[in-house]
Amino acid sequence: MKYRIAIMAALAVTWTGSVLAQAKDPTIAGIEKYREMLGDDNPAELYEARGEILWKKAAGPKNVSLEKCDLGLGPGVVKGAYAKTPRYFGDAGRVMDIESRINWCRETIQGFSTADIVKKPFGSADKPSEIEDLLAYVVTASKGMKISPPNSHPKELEAFALGEALFHLRAGPYDFSCGTCHAVDGMRIRLQELPNLTKTADAKGAYTGWPAYRVSTSRLHSMQWRINDCFRQQRFPEPKYMSESVNALITFLAVMGEGAEYKGPALKR
């Protein structure tokens, strides 16, 4: 056992030492160029188009559409709703990010069960999940708007504080926090720049970068997925889909990114 701990510790040192290098590299310029070359052709538009059809189509055990869904700005208002999340929803009694809220509508309006919704939330390249389509439609309707989560209701302030605390919480086999990788300037892992999410400028870019279509995986990924995957990188157990802690972290990130103009689903390597 002692040996195992020593090996783990040694691995942690070499791993952090080698991969968390300071960035000053032409590769970053190369990636930017690649993004430029892909230009305006973002396959996220296909998700958006499918999402709009799904939104308006009667579905679920109750066979109704989502058109009466209240995303925070009143029943049926999609335009601009994403920019004002995460927020506290009185009917649900909790703070939700946009993905949690769309799913809440699928449950309460369309009658899907929680089990159905959490079964396979993240799709695959050949089989996107419905929530990813719906999400693309809803977020795109906030294009051009400024990110402005309300951050005023006591529950919203509580979610922000919890998110901030979780961001700095060190634990797991490597004793990593989110901040180990995301509270330092100019850090990168291999070719990937790591934003310093405690700084407004980086946080703005990072927050508005999701949901994103990733060329490397040929899929659209949500912010819920992004946080899940970072928990994996942190060697933490995978959080429950739409859990309070993930919503709190998303609240923290949204408030840090406040004021950024949302440009629609991003395109990533």
List contacts with ligand HEC (CB under 6 A). Answer: 167, 176, 178, 180-182, 189, 192-195, 205-206, 209, 226-227, 230-231, 233-234, 249, 253
Least distance from ligand HEC to the Cβ atom of residue 223, Å: 7
Task: Map tokens 């925070």 to a residue.
Answer: 72
Nearer Cβ to ligand HEC (43/205) = 205
Least distance from ligand HEC to the Cβ atom of residue 212, Å: 7
127: its two tokens: 């089989």
Nearer Cβ to ligand HEC (108/151) = 151
Cα 124 to Cα 88, 102, 127: the distances in Å are 31, 20, 5
Q: Which residue is nearest to ligand HEC (CB)?
A: 178
Least distance from ligand HEC to the Cβ atom of residue 11, Å: 13
82: CB partners within 8 A, 6+ apart: 71, 98, 138, 139, 141, 142, 262
Nearer Cβ to ligand HEC (58/201) = 201
Nearer Cβ to ligand HEC (143/268) = 268
CA end-to-end span of the chain: 40
Count of beta carbons in the 10 Å neighbourhood of residue 247: 25
Nearer Cβ to ligand HEC (47/231) = 231
Least distance from ligand HEC to the Cβ atom of residue 205, Å: 6
Cα 131 to Cα 30, 72, 77, 261: the distances in Å are 33, 18, 18, 24
With beta carbons less than 8 A apart as the criterion, state whether 191 and 33 touch: no
Least distance from ligand HEC to the Cβ atom of residue 110, Å: 30
